[in-house]
């Protein structure tokens, strides 16, 4: 009995070590993805977001699956955390994947390829910003929405991974990470999202004469 329990303990320790090694390998792959982020491209797009805020233009964001969650995160932080609540002018930012009723209605009545393009048609104005996120860069509903946004005179951007797909070639601001694995590519996209939020927040507070804590400098 004692020997059997000891063996089970060895198996448990071995399984823990294997899992830990696997997670460490994943962490390294994620760090590799983050290391290839093009900071200059993120900087240029962040400046466009800041100018949109200054000029009262909109930012529309959207994606599928995990990228939808990242788009929601970006929209929420830009709308709340980034600008002091006491300041009356906010960034007009909208995540197009946040209304299940709208998405399911458009998907049912027209088709899934239209769930974002129809919303772009509804909301977008010339010179608005339109950002999508896609691991492959080839999702047909995202491509359709960006194509329409371009035809309406919007500035377009896409976070992509792998080779970048169709979206990388068609947007004004490609935000590409050359990583051929979905999860690490999405990790890099989330880091780019936080870079944009942090950069935009700093630019707003600098213009308003505030420090990063949100308090007015003396």
In the predicted model, is pLDDT for residue 8 greater than 90?
Answer: no
Q: What is the pLDDT of residue 13?
A: 87
Structural domains in the chain plus CATH codes: 36-207 (3.40.50.10490)
Q: What is the mean predicted confidence (pLDDT) over 57-76?
A: 98
Q: What is the pLDDT of residue 7?
A: 53
Q: For 11-15, 21-25, 146-150, which range has the lowest pLDDT when averaged over its residues? A: 11-15
In the predicted model, is pLDDT for residue 215 greater than 80?
Answer: no
In the predicted model, is pLDDT for residue 86 greater than 90?
Answer: no
Which DSSP state fits 156? E
Q: Is the pTM of this model over 0.75?
A: yes
Burial class (CB within 10 angstroms; exposed 0-12, middle 13-18, buried 19+) of 99: middle
Greatest alpha-carbon pair distance for the chain in Å reads 76
129 and 94 Cβ atoms separated by less than 8 Å: no
Q: What is the pLDDT of residue 89?
A: 86
Q: For 8-12, 37-41, 153-157, which range has the lowest pLDDT when averaged over its residues? A: 8-12
Alpha carbons within 13 angstroms on the beta-carbon side of residue 102 total: 13
Q: What are phi and psi of 201, to 5 degrees?
A: -60, -45
Q: What is the mean predicted confidence (pLDDT) over 56-69?
A: 98
d(CA 71, CA 61): 6
In the predicted model, is pLDDT for residue 27 greater than 90?
Answer: yes
135 and 158 Cβ atoms separated by less than 8 Å: no
Average pLDDT for the chain:
93
Q: Which residue has the higher pLDDT, 213 or 194?
A: 194
Residue 141's alpha-carbon distances to 24, 80, 145, 160, in angstroms, are 35, 28, 6, 15
Terminal-residue alpha carbon distance, the chain: 73
């Amino acid at each position: 009995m004692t020997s059997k329990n000891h063996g089970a303990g060895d198996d448990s320790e071995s399984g823990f070590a294997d899992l830990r090694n696997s997670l460490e390998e994943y962490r390294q792959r994620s760090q590799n993805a983050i290391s290839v982020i093009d900071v200059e491209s993120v900087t240029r797009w962040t400046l466009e977001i800041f100018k949109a805020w200054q000029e009262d233009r909109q930012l529309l964001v959207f994606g599928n699956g995990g990228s939808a969650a990242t788009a929601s995160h970006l929209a929420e932080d830009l709308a709340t955390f980034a600008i002091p609540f006491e300041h009356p002018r906010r960034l007009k930012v909208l995540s197009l994947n946040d209304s299940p009723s709208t998405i399911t209605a458009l998907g049912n009545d027209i088709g899934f390829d239209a769930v974002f393009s129809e919303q772009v048609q509804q909301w977008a104005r010339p010179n608005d910003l339109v950002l999508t996120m896609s691991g492959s860069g080839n999702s047909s509903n995202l491509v359709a929405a960006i194509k329409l946004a371009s035809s309406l005179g919007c500035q377009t951007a896409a976070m992509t991974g792998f080779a970048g797909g169709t979206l990388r070639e068609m947007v004004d601001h490609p935000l590409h990470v050359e990583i051929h694995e979905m999860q690490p590519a999405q990790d890099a996209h989330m880091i780019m999202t936080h870079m944009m939020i942090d950069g935009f927040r700093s630019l707003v507070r600098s213009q308003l004469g505030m420090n990063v804590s949100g308090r007015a400098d003396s």
